[in-house]
Amino acid sequence: MEVRLTILTLALVGGALAADHIDGPNAAADPAVDITDVFAWHEGGRLYAVLNFAGAGATTTTGMYDADALYGIHIDTDDDASNGAERTVWIRFGEDAVGNWGVQVTNFPGAGAPVVGPVESVITAPGGHVFVGVRNDPFYFDFAGFQSTISTGNLAFTGADFFAGLNVTSIVLDMDANVAAAGGDHVNVWGTSARRPITP
C-alpha cells in the first residue's frame, strides 16, 4: 500500500490558530504548547508521525512536560481535512508522587486501551511504538543568510544552521500504516496543542 501524506501544523492557544517555529506570540510565554514542527512519513508499511514542541532555544537535556497541556496528532483518511480527522491520537503527561513523568496516549491505531509509560523511553504499543523525550531540533534555518537576504536584497546562504545544537521535546508515533489509514491510500496529518479545559 502506498500512503500519500499531507502535513499541517496548528497550535490552539487562547483560541488562535497558528503555525510557526518559535516565532508565535506565545512561544516564549508558553513553550510547552508551542509546536515547532510536525513531520509524517511512511516506510515499509509503517506510518511515522512526529510532533515537536518547546523549542525556543532550549539546550536542556530534560523534556518539557506539562500536565495541563493536551496534544493531538490528527489523521484524516477521507481527504477532507477541513471537516476534521477520522482519528485523533491524544497525548498528555502526568507526574507521580516522587516526580517521575509519564505519558498517556489514547486512540493509538490498533490499541484498544490507552498506551501508558515513562517519558524518555520507547514504549511498545499494540501494532507500534511511542517515544516522548528530548531530541535535537531537526529544523534547518540559515538565519544569518536570511537576515543578509532581507537587508541587501541579494540571496545569501551561509550554511550555518541557527537551530544546530538546540533541542525540542518530541512526541514520536510509529504506527501500522494500513490501520492508521483505515485501509485507505491517503492520509492528512496535522498536530494541535491546547491548554485545559479542552479535553479529547
pLDDT tens figures, 57-91: 666 677 889 999 999 999 998 877 667 788 999 99
User: What is the C-alpha to C-alpha distance for residues 64 and 194, in angstroms, rounded to an integer?
Assistant: 15
Q: What is the DSSP secondary-structure string of the chain? A: ---EEEEEE-EEETTEEE--SS-STTTTT-GGG-EEEEEEEEETTEEEEEEEE--SS---SS----TTEEEEEEEESSS-GGG--SEEEEEEEEE-TTS-EEEEEES-TT-SS-EEEETTSEEEETTEEEEEEEEE------HHHHHHHHHHSS-------TTTT-EEEEEEEEEEHHHHTTT-SEEEEEEEEEETT---
Is the confidence at residue 160, as pLDDT, over 80?
no
State the average pLDDT for the chain: 82
Q: What is the pLDDT of residue 2?
A: 45
pLDDT tens readout for residues 29-42: 778 888 888 999 99
173: confidence class by pLDDT, cuts 50, 70, 90? very high
Compute how many other C-beta atoms are within 10 angstroms of the C-beta atom of residue 22.
Answer: 21
195: confidence class by pLDDT, cuts 50, 70, 90? confident
Q: What is the pLDDT of residue 121?
A: 94
Q: Which of 54, 132, 62 is nearest to 90 (CA)?
A: 132
Average of pLDDT values for 136-157?
83
The one-letter amino acid code at 121 reads S
Which of residues 20 and 42 earns the better pLDDT score? 42
Q: What is the pLDDT of residue 174?
A: 98
User: What is the C-alpha to C-alpha distance for residues 152 and 73, in angstroms, rounded to an integer?
Assistant: 40
171: confidence class by pLDDT, cuts 50, 70, 90? very high
Q: pLDDT exceeding 70 applies to what percent of the chain?
A: 78
Q: Is 59 exposed, middle or buried (0-12, 13-18, 19+ CB in 10 A)?
A: exposed
The whole-model pTM stands at: 0.81
7: confidence class by pLDDT, cuts 50, 70, 90? very low
Q: What is the pLDDT of residue 11?
A: 39
Give whichever of 6-10, 30-34, 189-193 has the largest mean pLDDT.
Answer: 189-193
Grid coordinates belonging to 126: 499494540
pLDDT tens readout for residues 87-123: 999 999 999 999 999 999 999 999 999 999 999 999 9
